């Protein structure tokens, strides 16, 4: 999401300008979401990744 068109309810300015603390917090949150590995920060995603790796390891070590 791009913050160029978002308007802050606190200061009525554009969020991208970062006039108030609310704007700056929202900008920080948006930048955090844009990181490529941000989705792995959730506990559910980490558990799913660990279960997938365990299943692959189990299948790889299983005798033929």
Where is average pLDDT lowest: 3-7, 9-13, 52-56? 3-7
Which of 4-13, 18-27, 34-43, 49-58 is predicted most confidently? 49-58
Calculate mean pLDDT across residues 29-51. 78
Q: Where are the domains of the chain?
A: 15-61
**pTM of the complete model beyond 0.85:** no
State residue 58's pLDDT score: 94
* 3-state percent helix, strand, coil for the chain, nearest multiple of 5: 60, 5, 35
Calculate mean pLDDT across residues 31-52. 78
Give the confidence band of 61 by pLDDT, cuts at 50, 70, 90: very high
Kindly state the DSSP code that residue 64 receives in the 8-state scheme.
-
Tokens of 59: 């299948």
């Amino acid at each position: 999401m791009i913050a160029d068109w978002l308007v802050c309810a606190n200061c009525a300015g554009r969020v991208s300008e970062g006039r108030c603390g609310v704007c700056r917090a929202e900008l920080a949150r948006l930048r955090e979401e844009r990181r490529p590995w941000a989705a792995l920060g959730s506990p559910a995603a980490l558990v799913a990744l660990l279960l997938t790796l365990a299943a692959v390891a189990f299948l790889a070590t299983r005798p033929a």
